[in-house]
A and B are shown apart, each in its own frame.
Chain A
Amino acid sequence: MSNKELTFQKIAVAIAFSPRCEAMIAEAKLLQQTFHSQLVFVHVGKKSLQEEQYLKHLIHRFNLDGASTNIIWEQGDPVETILQVCQDQKIDLLVAGALEKEGIIKYFFGGISRQLSRKAKCSMLMLTEPKIHPTGFKHLVVEGTDHPKTEYTIAKAVEIARAFGSKSIDIIQESDESKLALIRSEDFKEKEADDHKEALHKEEDEKLEEILRCTDCGELIINTERIEGKPGYVISKFSRDKESDLLILNSPDKPMNLLDRVFPHDIEYALSDLPCNLLIIHSKDSE
């Protein structure tokens, strides 16, 4: 995997002229500086002179006016339009603001950034508390589940951590023991069940070690931890408990729909109550 593949070359920022608009642009500036990316600001809605001038003013204030910044105004359905822009512009990372928690109706029927996160074909960063003076991400929690996408996600996480000068990252292996627990209702011996469990964990540990061996971590300290529980929920809880500022997860294997919210699994646990900023890594290699 080359370095070129690992950077966010083109970042799109969804702009909504909310009170957090200025902070979103400040965060975009930090990302642009850190990854030397091109920026594309996307706003879906009717173009008004006042909003246009305000956006230009902010872009100028943050020294973002230049060849590497582009503004796109579109009309139509916000989610579909932003996704189309991402596809047309070959965006690597889509950034949007998001509330930590949405009301139950809005959650089930979909706020814009959560809908984007379920459908985006590129990586997506959801900022829960964008700051006017952003400090970057120092404490990262990363998904280390045994999955084909994990290698790419970890590589990306390591690069982000190093770019922001983090000292360490936590890689969490989530162990869903529900399938393994099935044998407990059958004729099992405790030691036998534990041996099976240990063998499965060992296999996963070896895979993770191999991934980390192949990843250039530099001085970064990698902490790995295995937590039993429902995937998506346990890593979210860990992230909240540790007060991390960025949770990094694999992208969903298939587009999520209403049923996935009614019967939540994996990333939906994090989306239902964001523990911190959330970065969903879309691994193009695994498509």
Chain B
Amino acid sequence: MSVLSHSENISVILSLGLMLIAARLFGEFFRKLKMPLVVGELIAGVVLGPSFLGYFYPNISTIIFTQNEHAAIALSGIINISIIMLLFVAGMELNLSLIRQQGKAAFSTSVFGLIIPLAMGFAIGYFGYNLFGENSTDKIAFALFIGTSMAISALPVIARTLLDLNLFRTKVGSIIITAAMFNDLIGWILFSVIIGMLKGSAHHSLLFTLLYTIGYALVMLTAGRFFINKSMPWAEKNFSWPGGFLSLSLGLAFLGAAFTEYIGLHAIFGAFIIGISIGDSVHVTEKMKDNVSQFVTNIFAPLFFVSIGFKVNFLNHFDLQITLVVLILAIVGKISGAYLGAKLGGLSNKESLAIGFGLNARGAMEIILAILALQAKLIGEDLFVAIVIMAVVTSVLAGPMLNWLLKPKAIGIETN
């Protein structure tokens, strides 16, 4: 077995240390400016990556991050594991019973908040393929990806915004959270199908990709979830706890990820569905989830987001035209879809618009989706940069817009 040399080891460890500290420093700075932590982490990557450090001090950058091929591969492996764990945590945060309980307004908001941006994104992706899709070989997969990227939301950003504005327990807040969960669930299933279409086209047809995706999700969310729930008390009794939960849950996530990767879907999908199955167990407390979440979001998430800045030169690949198209498409698609759904569900104009702006926040999930699409050569770097900017802008916009539209005293928002 080949191992990293002394200098390679130092390079990897040094990179990890610098990435974590830079992510924290930049993240905290942007948090003070009332922006999501992820914005700072991305900027840290841009500063440490080819856009800044690599551009102005290429020698230092090369020594630290890309001194040799083996160290870069090791770092890449850690980043891949980070994405899997991030999606696992995102899955744990989904509350299936909340989605099941949703009333008419939440249901119509969920459906229209998904379908309208998906359809608009698909149409722009399909007809604008020659303009944006230069990197993709599959027109349908590209159009589907653009649709999916317009459809998902950022649950943590939304939850945080609702809490800050004291809207968390209102009817509007509940609808936004439920619809965001529904959109994420369907969004990641769709993304898995798209990646499956690309990866699996050599081995199996679209029909099989669909069957594998839906089959895996169904089996894991029913039988898998049942067995996980039943075995939790046994594990708690026989293993040290909650340490045992941390290793078992992440172990299962990696097994699920390996399985979906093996059958031609993306590894993240396996981890995401395992996350939902584990998170839904009645024996898994919020404290236990919190342990995993803290571990992943404070170590692996920053590594992942900083690494994005290494992969792409944001300055060279910033295209105003593409960025504006993506931004307008995302905002118009999501807000109009959610607005229409909420209106059909019986909410007022102002509430419906607020729900639209609330769901419009894309945050970290959008960035993960985009980097995976970039890795799969589904999109080019210009479009990737545009999507990252869109994710940041929509997240930053959500708070002020909700505040403006829903000053609680002004319209007497109905609480649950």
Residues of A in contact with B (beta carbons under 8 Å apart): 146-147, 177-188, 196, 200, 203, 228-230, 233, 253-254, 259-260, 262-266, 269
B259-300 Cβ-contact flags toward A at 8 Å (1 or 0) = 000000000000000000001101001100110011001000
- Sorted nearest first, the 6 A-B pairs with minimum C-beta distance are A265-B97, A182-B159, A187-B37, A186-B156, A233-B282, A177-B286
Whose C-beta in chain A lies nearest to the C-beta of B99?
A: A263
Q: Which of A186, A262, A265 has the most CB of B within 10 A?
A: A186
User: Are A262 and B222 interface neighbours, CB within 8 A?
Assistant: yes
Partner-contacting stretch, out of B88-96, B250-258, B319-327, B372-380: B88-96
Contact B160 A269 (CB under 8 A): no
Task: Tell me if B407 is interfacial: C-beta within 8 Å of chain A.
Answer: no
| Residue in B closest to A178 when the chains form the complex, CB atoms | B95
- Establish whether residues B98 and A179, one from each chain, have CB atoms under 8 Å apart when the complex forms: yes
Contact present for B169 and A203 (CB under 8 Å): yes
A200-B168, A230-B282 known; A185 vs B293 contact (CB < 8 Å)? yes
Q: Flag B36-49 by CB within 8 Å of A: 1 or 0 each.
A: 11000000000000
Given contacts A179-B95, A179-B168, A229-B285, contact A186 B101 (CB under 8 A): no
CB of B31 within 8 Å of the partner chain: yes
B97–A263 CB distance below 8 A: yes
Residues of chain B lying within 8 A (CB to CB) of residue A187: 27, 31, 36-37, 160
Binding site for A on B (CB under 8 A): 27, 31, 36-37, 89-90, 93, 95-98, 100-101, 103, 155-160, 163, 168-169, 177, 221-222, 279-280, 282, 285-286, 289-290, 293-294, 297, 301, 416
Residues of A within 8 A of B93 (CB): 178, 181-182, 185
Q: How far is the CA of A203 from the CA of B101 in the complex (A)?
A: 23
- Considering the complex, give the chain B residue whose CB is closest to the CB of A182: B159
- Is there an interface contact between B100 and A265, defined as CB atoms closer than 8 Å? yes
Tell me, in angstroms, the Cα distance from A178 to B101 when the chains sit together: 14
What residues of B have a CB within 8 angstroms of the CB of A184 in the complex?
290, 293-294, 297
CB-defined contacts of B280 to chain A, threshold 8 Å: 263
Residues of B within 8 A of A230 (CB): 97, 282
Decide: A181 and B97 in contact? CB cutoff 8 A: no
Query: Nearest residue in B to A252 (C-beta to C-beta)?
Result: B101
CB distance A183 to B163 under 8 Å?
A: yes
Q: Is the CB of B290 within 8 A of A186?
A: no
Contact between chains at B156 and A229 (CB < 8 Å):
no
Rounded to whole Å, the gap between the CB of A87 and the closest CB of chain B is 24
Interface SS of B by simple majority: helix
Taking CB atoms, residues of chain A closer than 8 Å to B221 are 263
Name the A residues within 8 Å of B156 (CB-CB). 182-183, 185-186
Distance (Å) between the CB of B377 and the closest chain A CB? 29
Chain B residues, CB < 8 A from A203: 169
Distance between Cα atoms of A260 and B100 in the complex (Å): 7
For B93, give the chain A residue with the smallest CB separation. A182
- Which residues of the partner chain B approach A179 to less than 8 Å between Cβ atoms? 95, 98, 159, 168, 177
Give complex CA distance A175, B251 in Å: 29
Among A180, A184, A233, max chain B CB count under 10 A is at A184
Complexed CA–CA distance, A187 and B301 (Å): 12
A200: shortest Cβ distance to chain B, in Å? 6
Known: A186-B37, A200-B168, A229-B282. A263 touches B98 (CB 8 A): no
Name A146's contact: one of B27, B290, B416 (CB within 8 Å): B416
Whole-angstrom distance between the alpha carbons of A188 and B164 in the complex?
11
Partner of B160, one of A178, A188, A259: A188
Contact: B36 with A186, CB < 8 Å? Answer: yes
| Additional pairs, 19, CB under 8 Å, beyond known A186-B160, A200-B168, A265-B98 | A178-B98, A179-B177, A180-B159, A181-B289, A181-B293, A182-B93, A184-B293, A185-B297, A185-B301, A187-B36, A187-B160, A203-B169, A228-B286, A229-B285, A230-B282, A253-B101, A263-B221, A266-B97, A266-B101
Q: Which residues of B contact A262 (CB under 8 A)?
A: 222
In the assembled complex, which residues on chain B have CB atoms less than 8 Å from the CB atom of A266?
97, 101
CB distance from B250 to the nearest CB of A (A): 15
- Is the beta-carbon distance between B285 and A186 smaller than 8 angstroms? no
Q: How far is the CA of A253 from the CA of B157 in the complex (A)?
A: 29
Beta-carbon contact of A185 and B89 below 8 Å? yes
Q: Which of B37, B103, B286, B289 has the most C-beta atoms of chain A within 10 angstroms of its own C-beta?
A: B286
Give the chain A neighbours of B155 by CB distance below 8 A.
182
B416 contacts A183, C-beta separation under 8 Å: no
A146 to B95, CA, bound (A): 19
Chain B residues near A182 (CB-CB < 8 A) = 93, 155-156, 158-160, 177
Report the minimal beta-carbon distance from A188 to chain B, rounded to whole angstroms. 7
A95 to B268, CA, bound (A): 49
Shortest distance between the CB of A94 and any CB in chain B (Å): 24
Least CB separation from B104: chain A residue: A254
A-B pairs with beta carbons under 8 Å apart, 7 shown = A181-B289, A183-B156, A187-B37, A196-B163, A253-B101, A263-B221, A265-B100
Q: Which residues of B contact A196 (CB under 8 A)?
A: 163, 168
CB distance from B88 to the nearest CB of A (A): 11
- A236, closest chain B residue (CB): B282
Look across to chain B and name the residue whose beta carbon is closest to the beta carbon of A269. Answer: B282
Residues of the A chain whose Cβ atoms lie less than 8 Å from the Cβ of B158: 182
A265 touches B101 (CB 8 A): yes
Question: With A and B bound together, what is the CA distance between A261 and B285 in angstroms?
Answer: 21
| Cross-chain contact B96 with A263 (CB below 8 angstroms) | yes
Shortest Cβ distance from residue B95 to the other chain A in the assembled complex, whole angstroms = 5
Q: How far is the CA of A188 from the CA of B301 in the complex (A)?
A: 14
How far in angstroms is the closest Cβ of chain A from B218?
10
Shortest beta-carbon distance, A51 to chain B, in Å? 40
CB atoms of A263 and B100 under 8 A apart: yes
Residues in A with CB closer than 8 Å to B159 are 179-180, 182-183, 186
Question: How many whole Å from A239's CB to the nearest CB in chain B?
Answer: 14
Residue of A nearest to B301 (CB): A185
Across the interface, name the chain A residue whose C-beta is closest to B34: A187
What residues of A have a CB within 8 angstroms of the CB of B157 in the complex? 186
Shortest Cβ distance from B102 into chain A, in angstroms?
10
Given contacts A186-B37, A187-B37, contact A181 B100 (CB under 8 A): no
Contact B290 A183 (CB under 8 A): no
Q: How far is the CA of A230 from the CA of B282 in the complex (A)?
A: 6
Distance of B256 from chain A, by nearest CB (Å) = 19
